[in-house]
Each structure stands twice: as structure tokens, then as C-alpha cells.
Amino acid sequence: MTAELTVIPSSTEPTPTARPLAGRHLFVFGAGFCAGLVALRAQAAGARVSATTRDPLRAAELIEQGIGMHLFDAAASGRRAALAEMLEGVTDLLISIPPGEGGCPALSALTAAGALPSGLGWIGYLSSTGVYGDCGGAWIDETRSPAPQTADARARLIAERDWAALAAERGAALDILRLSGLYGPGRRNALDRMRSPGTQAVLRHGQVFNRIHVEDAAGAILAAMSAPAGLRRLNLTDDLPAPAHALLDHAARLLGRPPAPRVPFDAAGLPPGAAAFWAENRRIRNDRLKALPGFALRYPTYREGLAAILADERASATTAAE
């Protein structure tokens, strides 16, 4: 899908008391779970915001909230010529499109169309902590040399390097934002997993995973955008790496349910994609993240995050019943 959508002006933002991003125009490639929230938060902070998606329903949803939307598939060449018009006046780019085999399809499309904005000041590239590969459960930070083990992580590392070269050439600040596992409202959390029939808690000694609430991820991205600092790599993760079963156990307690039945990793019969995920074990430090000016984690661990999600669900249910 490459057709451009007729948009309502994204300059019709709300008028909050603080508008630190006033005068800036953020363009988001791929307005998904996290980047779509960034778009809304940036608009509330005074920025003009435009974004792409391949989903007409998602486009309509964000248009209703004042985001200038374009239906666009970066991997297709049909309407690349329209990119220059889409990006006219853009000062900031956020890239949330998954990589292709050769790197970032958004960068390839921009380069092929000669559409990179001339006044670009900041670029944010959403990457993954998966670029570090397996670290044997050790604590690591952004100084750890990447050692990607999956095709996706290898492609993300290529994309990181290509965007770094482009940013250096253009004199733009670049934040490489390495996300750990995202969770948040909707079907992206342990509460929903515990509500799903047949959920099992897979056990593997010493295995932990890293995660961050989507609100904290969005807040970190906006904090980075608000305080550009040349080339910067940031791990976006909360304070507590934890085993997968710990989240399910806590979700069960919050819901007043028995814990999920245990199954050893070797007997779990995980599909190849999930098994590859479990093949990597690392504990991610977030000192750089917490040093960002004006930023603090709202949900330092999954405990606060899941409790807040459940409280919001119950408040919404009460409101709907009134």
C-alpha cells in the first residue's frame, strides 16, 4: 500500500501549559505501538507531527487525534517520489519501521528519492537490545560490542550504522534507541497472557528478560529528542530484568488467580522464533537512560507497570458501566 492519504493539518494540537517542542516538525516512519504514542506525546508538547502507516484503520485513528497521516510502504517504490513533499519542513525524524535484509527500508527509500530534509536536526532510530546477542546473563551497557545472532538483529545493526553515517554527513544529532521488550495496555502484557486459556510458565534456570512500559519508552524518546547530543546510543529498559514466569506469577496475584502451570524449557516445545528468543540471556543497564535531562521512569519495574494497567482497565470498565 503506497497511496498517500489526504490529511487534516497536524498543527491543530492541544494547548498544554508546556510546549517544549513548539516550532518543530516530527515525521514518524511507522506509527506503531510505541512510535504512535510518541507522535501523540510530541503533538501534546507543541510539535507538528506527521507519520506513516500501511494500515488505513490506524491512519484514520491517528488522523482523528490530529496527526498528519500518510499511507506508505517504505519497501515499495511506487510513490517514493511523494516523499519529498511529505517531508517538506520536517526538522526531526523517528524511524520505527522494521529492518529489511539490507538495513533500513525507510533510509533506502529516502536516499533513492533524494528526499532527506535539508534542515534535519534530530534523528531517532528504534533498534533493539537484541543487537548485543547472548551475554550469558551478564550485566551490560551501551559500551558492549554488538554480537547479533538473529537475522533481525543483524539487519538492525546494519541500519544503525547506515543512519550513523547519514547523520554524520548531514550534521544531525542521532539517537540509536535500543528497545528491550515492550509491554503496555492492550494485548501486550502478562495480565492478558494470564487471561488466555492454556498459558504456561516456561522455566529455565538463570534466564531473564528485559522490558520497558510503552509509556516510559515514549517518554525516553521525547526526552532524547528534546536534548539532542550528537551520536548517542541508549538502552531503553526498566530497572529489573526478570524471569518470564515472575511476570506471570505477579499478574496472577493481581488478578486473584492461581499461578500458571510450570513447564521446563526443554519440554515446552517452543517454535523456532520463540526458542531463538530464549537462546539469548542478558541483563541490560539503563544508567544513560536515567541520565537523560528531564526523564524518570514512571514504571521502574513490571510490578508498577502491571498494577497501573490493571487499575486503568478497571477504571475504564467502571466508567463504561455508568
CATH dotted code for 25-183+211-238+283-299:
3.40.50.720
Q: Tell me the pTM.
A: 0.92
Q: Give residue 12's pLDDT band: very low, low, confident or very high (50, 70, 90).
A: very low
Domain ranges of the chain: 25-183+211-238+283-299, 193-207+240-282+303-321
**How far apart are alpha carbons 94 and 179 in whole angstroms?**
14
Per-residue pLDDT at 61: 96
Q: What is the pLDDT of residues 229-263, one digit of tens each?
A: 999 999 999 999 999 999 999 999 999 999 999 99
Please tell me the distance from the alpha carbon of residue 75 to that of residue 62, in angstroms, as a whole number: 22
pLDDT at 79: 62
- Element at 231 (helix H, strand E): strand 231-236
Least confident stretch, 139-143, 161-165, 184-188, 251-255: 184-188
pLDDT band with cut points at 50, 70 and 90 for residue 76? confident
pLDDT in tens, 199-214: 999 999 999 999 999 9
